[in-house]
Amino acid sequence: PSKINLGVGAYRDNNGKPWILPSVKKAEEVLAKTEESKEYVPIVGSPKFNELIKTLLYSHDDAGKQLLKDGRVLTSQGISGTGSLRVLGEFVRTFYPTSKKVLVPNPT
């Protein structure tokens, strides 16, 4: 009764009807006022998002900061939750071919 399925990409109310988070509505309002085009982002995603996520993930300790300084961190924005997992799986298969074990939750 107090669980939310976060894997589906949408919230639903107790009656199973779609529910949009107030924060999402607010973000959509901001975008509607500030968006300058409806162009697709580049294939690796939004350059600004990629830079911000690198900073968020790697700027908390000296080792991470050094990786950023050395230009050794690469980011790519995935197409969706499961699409991102697919890209990660392909990456592991290609660059770590001896890896034999992949752990997935049940249900997946």
CA separation for the pair 37, 57 (Å, rounded): 29
For the chain of 108 residues, list the mean pLDDT of each consecutive stretch of 10: 66 84 94 89 91 95 96 88 83 88 69
Q: What is the pTM of this model?
A: 0.59
pLDDT at 7 (0 to 100): 66
Phi, psi (5° rounding) for residue 46?
-70, 120
pLDDT at 49 (0 to 100): 93
pLDDT at 82 (0 to 100): 79
Phi, psi (5° rounding) for residue 25?
-60, -45
Q: Are 75 and 46 spatial neighbours (Cβ–Cβ below 8 Å)?
A: no
CA separation for the pair 37, 47 (Å, rounded): 16
Sorted by where each begins, the domain ranges of the chain are 47-95
H-assigned helices in the chain: 22-34, 47-58, 62-69, 81-95
